[in-house]
Amino acid sequence: MPIPGGTMNVPFSRPLRFVGALAVVVAVALLSPVSRIRGAEDDTLPRASPEDVGMSSERLQRVGALMQRHIEENLLAGTVSLIARHGKVVHLEAQGFRDKDAGVPMGTDTIFTIMSMTKPIVTVALMSLFEEGHFLLDDPISKWLPAYADKTVRRAGGARTVSEPAARPVTVRHVLSHTSGLSIRPPAPPRGGQARTRPATLAEAVDRAADVPLAFHPGDEWQYGASTDYVAILVEKISGMSLDDFLRERIFEPLGMQDTYYNIPESKVDQVAAVYRPSGPGNTIALFRAPSYREPTQYFGGQAGLSSTAADYFRFHQMMLNGGELDGARILSPRTINLMVTNHIGDKLVYIRGPGYGFGLGYGIVMDSGLANDHLSPGSFLWGGAWGTVAWVDPVEDILGVLMMQITSYRHLTVRQDFSTVTSQAIIETNRHNPPTVMGYKSVY
């Protein structure tokens, strides 16, 4: 069980309407004239003018200008950006192209592969089962996955790698906070042996990986990656449902997330964004994957796998900012949301984001806004996807942002961090003088 460590301005003190205003930013850029509403506009989104929620319309135009600059320089094909504050959408803009090679303009209804932005959704699914009393965070995962009892840990042993018994069991908390040391990849076949086929289901992948030693003793380090696949399999084991069905019944339908899928219907393929990759001089883009219908999969992963729209992800994050509820549908309690967005890893480095961040259950947490690359208040929580998407919530300012784009590598770009900057500078009535108090936690291990 964690014990209080330092203090920190992390989120929420109220029943999670979160201390201020909510801004959701979804940026969609178009090479031709910018389109604020291009495609099937969602009339169900709550709207307000920027001035009604303490923001500047003039300054908010910098969001679109930032995206347009990247599109004109051929670094991105297109974007959708959405910003909401106090629960009202003040900016929803599509720019550039959904499919540049085919000349199809970007629309606000575009469906994007969100990669690791799947992780927070799957984490919420498991935490809803936590609220029903199915487990404690420090229960071992071997309670549902017996093959994961008595794990071993890899360690250097001279000329070869040897293993030693794990110092402690892998727990639910470890897989939620990426401190498990688990892998989802099975051992490599012997030299000359037949290559393994791709597992058809997540359960098959988990079974194959049971004998893989841990990368470190559970709780000792933070390592991003496979842990959320174990979160996903726990949802299936505890609920008795497929993850796809569970998410649809318990999260997507109650929140009105009508365009979020593992398997995109054939009727929706025209809404799907093409994926691009850096290529040529200056990392200008080239087509990586054109939109097409793909045969349905039964592999419902926790690390990645979902596709979604800016509007749908806004609904999910507005629920988080509201303390677990949206439009009368309660997914989690405010106390559980607070538990998720509290730092659970002490001072371990969240190396893929850099200094200034901690990690909760499914989310990165801004611990020190002076060190963090994202221009957000301490206690803000966020995560992104490997193909460029990102979404964040700043509970101090009651604002939320979503940025959707599709590019296989963006390390040469700072557009995701710049997005938080140009959003934050548009706030002219700030709540920063009345921040919530947040606890930081350190593991007892």
Question: Same structural domain for residues 292 and 423?
Answer: yes
Among 226, 243, 260, the domain-final residue is 243
Question: Same structural domain for residues 283 and 430?
Answer: yes
Question: Same structural domain for residues 339 and 400?
Answer: yes
> For every residue of 340-383, which 3-state class applies, written as one string?
HCCECCCCCCCCCCCCCEEECCCCEEECCCCCCCCCCCCCCEEE
Question: Is 0.85 surpassed by the pTM of this model?
Answer: yes
Tell me which H or E stretch contains 63.
helix 57-72
Q: What is the pLDDT of residue 191?
A: 55
The answer to whether residues 56 and 23 touch, using CB atoms and an 8 Å cutoff, is no
- State how far Cα 165 lies from the chain centre: 33
Surface-to-core class of residue 439, CB atoms within 10 Å of its CB (0-12 exposed, 13-18 middle, 19+ buried): middle
- Nearest 5°: phi and psi at 111? -100, 130
Question: Same structural domain for residues 235 and 382?
Answer: no
Question: Same structural domain for residues 435 and 289?
Answer: yes
Look up residue 399 and give its two tokens: 């604002």
Q: What is the CATH number of the domain that holds 137?
A: 3.40.710.10
Q: Give the burial string for 67-96 (b: 16+ CB within 10 Å, else e).
A: bbebbeebbbbbbbbbbbbbbbbbbbbbbb
Instruction: Please identify every stretch of the chain with a pLDDT value under 50, giving residue numbers as ranges.
Output: 1-40, 436-445
Nearest Cα residue to 309 out of 124, 101, 98, 105:
98
Q: What is the DSSP letter of 403?
A: E
Q: What is the pLDDT of residue 19?
A: 36
Tell me which H or E stretch contains 421.
helix 415-424
- Express each pLDDT in 43-92 by its tens digit: 789 999 999 999 999 999 999 999 999 999 999 999 999 999 999 999 99
Question: Same structural domain for residues 73 and 206?
Answer: no
Domain encompassing residue 232: 128-243
Q: What is the pLDDT of residue 316?
A: 98
Q: How many angstroms separate the CA atoms of 441 and 12, rounded?
A: 16
Question: Same structural domain for residues 101 and 167?
Answer: no
Instruction: Please check whether residue 392 lies inside any domain of the structure.
Output: yes
The answer to whether residues 25 and 91 touch, using CB atoms and an 8 Å cutoff, is yes
Instruction: Please check whether residue 144 lies inside any domain of the structure.
Output: yes
Give me the torsion for CA of 435, 370, 422, 252, rounded to 10°. -60
Instruction: Please check whether residue 41 lies inside any domain of the structure.
Output: yes
Instruction: Please check whether residue 104 lies inside any domain of the structure.
Output: yes
Q: What is the pLDDT of residue 168?
A: 98
Q: What does the chain come to in residues?
A: 445
Q: Which residue has the tokens 């900057």?
A: 421
Q: Which residue has the tokens 């990368």?
A: 215
Question: Same structural domain for residues 87 and 208?
Answer: no
Instruction: Please check whether residue 121 lies inside any domain of the structure.
Output: no
Instruction: Please check whether residue 376 lies inside any domain of the structure.
Output: yes
Question: Same structural domain for residues 137 and 89?
Answer: no
Instruction: Please check whether residue 204 lies inside any domain of the structure.
Output: yes
Q: What is the pLDDT of residue 108?
A: 98
Q: What is the pLDDT of residue 354?
A: 82
Q: What is the pLDDT of residue 37?
A: 41
Instruction: Please check whether residue 344 lies inside any domain of the structure.
Output: yes
- The total number of structural domains in the chain stands at 2
- Express each pLDDT in 314-346 by its tens digit: 999 999 999 999 999 999 999 999 999 999 999
Question: Same structural domain for residues 416 and 275?
Answer: yes
Question: Same structural domain for residues 231 and 289?
Answer: no
Q: Is the dihedral of CA 312, 26, 94, 57 positive or negative?
A: positive
Question: Same structural domain for residues 190 and 325?
Answer: no
Nearest Cα residue to 306 out of 249, 259, 261, 243:
261
Q: How many angstroms separate the CA atoms of 56 and 79, rounded?
A: 22
Q: Is the dihedral of CA 263, 264, 266, 269 positive or negative?
A: negative
Q: What is the pLDDT of residue 435?
A: 53
